[in-house]
Amino acid sequence: MKRTAILVTILTVLALAGNGLTQPYGPTNSFGVRAGFGIDPDQFVFGGQAVLGQVLKVARFSPSVDVGFGDDLTTVVGNVDLRVHLSPPRAAAGLYVGGGPSLAWIDPDIGDSDTEIGFSAAGGLMAAMGQSNMYTLEARVGLGDVPDFRLTVGILFGAVEDIDDE
C-alpha cells in the first residue's frame, strides 16, 4: 500500500510538470559519483550517475549504476531514469522527481546469481557546490524484483555551468 501511494504521488508530480505547471531546470551533460545505503537488501551502496540531455523540454535523461555489498549478497543495479527538475532558473538548489526501468543483477554469497527487471521511482535534492559542481541527495524506491529502497549522496561534476546557460 505504501509503495502504491509513493508511486501515485510521483506520477502526479510528473503529470503536472508535463502540463507546464513546473519548469524543468537543471543540469545537462553532467557526470558524478555517489554512495549511501540500501534497505531490503541492507547494503552499503556506491556508484555513478549522469544527467544527459533533455527529453521533450520536460525531462532530463539520467542513467545511474549502483553496486551494493552486504546482507550476504552483491547487487549491481542499472537505472534508466527520466527526471523532472522543479527548481527555477539559476537557482543554487532544487528538487527533482523521476523514475524508470531498473535492471538488477543479484549475486548471493551462497547460490546462483539472478537478473531481475523492475521499476524505480526517485526523488532528490541538488545543491550548488562551488562554481561548477553540485551535491546530490537521492531517495529511490524499487518496485518489482529490484532493491526496495536506496538513499545516496553524491557529486555531479560540471553541473552548475549548464544551469547558468539556460
Per residue in 41-83, pLDDT (tens digit) is 999 999 999 998 888 777 889 999 999 999 999 999 999 999 9
Mean pLDDT over all residues of the chain? 83
CATH number at residue 48: 2.40.160.20
Taking 90 as the threshold, does the pLDDT of residue 123 lie above it? Answer: yes
Residue 149 domain boundaries: 2-164
Q: What is the pLDDT of residue 155?
A: 95
- Tens-digit pLDDT profile for residues 78-105: 999 999 988 776 777 889 999 999 999 9
- Concatenated DSSP letters for the chain? -HHHHHHHHHHHHHHHHHTTSS--B---SEEEEEEEEEETTTEEEEEEEEEEEEETTTEEEEEEEEEEEETTEEEEEEEEEEEEEB--TT-SEEEEEEEEEEEEEEEESSS--EEEEEEEEEEEEEEEETTTEEEEEEEEEEEESS-SEEEEEEEEETHHHHHHT-
In angstroms, how far is the first alpha carbon of the chain from the final one?
40
Number of separate domains in the chain: 1
Q: Whole-angstrom Cα distance, residue 41 to residue 150?
A: 9
Taking 50 as the threshold, does the pLDDT of residue 24 lie above it? Answer: no
The pTM assigned to this predicted structure is 0.80
Spatial CA neighbour of 22 closest among 79, 91, 80: 91
Q: What is the pLDDT of residue 6?
A: 53
Q: Average pLDDT in the 125-129 region?
A: 90
Output the nine-digit C-alpha cell for 88.
527555477
Q: Please check whether residue 96 is in contact with residue 85, taking contact to mean a CB–CB distance below 8 angstroms.
A: yes
Q: What percent of the chain clears pLDDT 90, i.e. is strictly above it?
A: 59
Between 159 and 79, the higher pLDDT residue:
79
Q: Whole-angstrom Cα distance, residue 122 to residue 100?
A: 9
